A and B are shown apart, each in its own frame.
Chain A
């Protein structure tokens, strides 16, 4: 949480960017932006701008990282040095990015059908070009689109979003300034088919009721996020079909 004087984040029931408590920021997903990747997607989620790409499956290297039973996932989440409004981020992995890479990887270990590709690795890259709060959630959402477009079979296309608390109000999809001064922040990745949480992190304070409310907001907003994912995955194929099928 940032220092300094806490700004007024909710005025007349509206948030600083005009959203109500349960509103998502606008989400735009563009498929296939990295030509050399097996699958890729660019997401603009509010002021977040993130590219996710998938390479593989390919021979797992170094050899000792491979698993004869299934594919292994390697994930790199990274913030670009120019991604933040304040200051210049030194490049290279830090404790935060290494942790996010790990929990992102675990989301995909659940949904990707790794057993189909023993001895191989699948690489997921999430590059945050501009960050404004909720980058891990937006990154997972984009990486799920990239994974589907790569043709690697998946049990589901997961989405992610965070919920939190400003004062005593439970709110969805915190941006950077809200995140900095919020009283709770909880990014969650969800498998839509079962509504299982595949990633869940939280800090701050929630009552049991507030936690339930936050989870409900997340699941409810998931319809909108998942729809944006679905539309982005289908778009390249649909555009061609629309051209010739009539």
Chain B
């Protein structure tokens, strides 16, 4: 029960001619807007829009128990919900494989870049801080990986750190910040008509042959995920990596501006 707003032939022909809808070039992101601190109850939050894609990330910090194999470390737990309101193709029910993939790829980038030092979340034996990052997709129009990574990262980087008074977690009114290190950006590329292009929208995702997400922290690649049945050649991969580092600075400055406001 859903009619795609472009035909395959139309998208493929555009891409074959190095063109995209709304006059975008192959290596151009859509208009990006970032708003931090939109949910006061959450320790950190951010709403990010990439064109018509709209995601909201909320960070909750609570007291929990360490994992058995890492008794001296706190936990970072990332989830994603593709809300049924966000697309006629999403359904009510348990998280889809698609939602789980989005959450896990975002989690890997943030974790690998060491944004959160889980060892610093240790409180005392058997007691650690749990950091929950939940990504809510409010409207879908492609590229949830990059928008979600950006929202989650800005939410973490702007989060307050609750205080522990006895057994009570005090969050409201605290001025301490959650300790974070560095910044991570994610660049997702799609391939169609033999061309590689960045930030696929909903129509492009529908008709792309393959997809690759590359997250980096400005110095090193931190997470990657290739999706769909199509493949990428080595030169294509190297080119995508190259561009992901160029784009890092552009995305980072948008995030820093939002964080500074």
Interface residues of A (CB under 8 A from B): 33-37, 40, 47, 49, 51, 53, 55, 58-59, 61, 74, 76, 80-88, 91-92, 123, 125, 127, 129-132
Q: A127-B83, A131-B41 are known; give 14 further A-B pairs, CB within 8 A.
A: A34-B86, A35-B52, A35-B54, A58-B1, A61-B1, A82-B42, A82-B134, A83-B41, A86-B171, A88-B62, A123-B84, A127-B85, A129-B58, A129-B136
Q: Are B58 and A82 in contact (CB under 8 A)?
A: yes
Q: Is the CB of A49 within 8 A of B81?
A: no
What string of 1s and 0s marks CB contacts (under 8 Å) between B43-68 and chain A?
A: 00100000010101011101000000
If A55-B88, A76-B84 touch, whether A85 touches B79 (CB-CB below 8 Å) is no
Closest-CB distance, B39 to chain A (whole angstroms): 5
Contact A51 B138 (CB under 8 A): yes
Total interface residues on B, CB under 8 Å, equals 36
Note all chain B residues with C-beta closer than 8 A to A37.
85
B58 touches A92 (CB 8 A): no
Tell me whether A125 and B79 are in contact (CB under 8 A). Answer: no
In the complex, B40 has a CB within 8 A of chain A: yes
**Residue of A58, A80, A91, A125 contacting most chain B CB atoms (<10 Å):** A80
Residue contact A88 to B85, C-beta cutoff 8 Å: no
Contacts of B1 in A (CB 8 A): 58-59, 61
Residues of A within 8 A of B59 (CB): 82
Tell me if B45 and A82 are in contact (CB < 8 A).
yes
B175 interfacial contact with A, CB 8 Å: no
Decide if B249 is an interface residue (CB 8 Å cutoff): no
Q: Which residues of B contact A (CB under 8 A)?
A: 1, 38-42, 45, 52, 54, 56, 58-60, 62, 79, 81, 83-88, 92, 94-95, 130, 132, 134, 136, 138-141, 169, 171-172
7 contacts between A and B (CB under 8 A): A34-B54, A34-B138, A47-B41, A76-B92, A125-B83, A127-B83, A130-B39
B160 nearest CB across to chain A (Å): 12
In the complex, are the beta carbons of B138 and A87 less than 8 A apart?
Answer: no
For A76, the chain B residues whose CB sits under 8 A away are: 84, 92
Contacts of A36 in B (CB 8 A): 52, 85-88, 139-141
> Do A91 and B79 form a contact, CB below 8 Å, given A49-B39, A82-B39?
yes
A178 to B209, CA, bound (A): 55
In contact, B171 and A85 (Cβ under 8 angstroms): yes
CB distance from B139 to the nearest CB of A (A): 5
A83-B39, A85-B171, A92-B94 given; A34·B134 CB < 8 A: no
The answer to whether A47 and B40 touch across the interface, beta carbons within 8 angstroms, is yes
CA distance A125 to B87 in the complex (A): 12
Q: Of B54, B60, B95, which one neighbours A88 at CB under 8 angstroms? A: B60
B79 close to A129 (CB less than 8 A): no
Closest A residue to B43 by CB, please name it: A82
Minimum C-beta distance from B78 to chain A (A): 11
Q: How far is the CB of B43 from chain A (nearest CB, A)?
A: 8
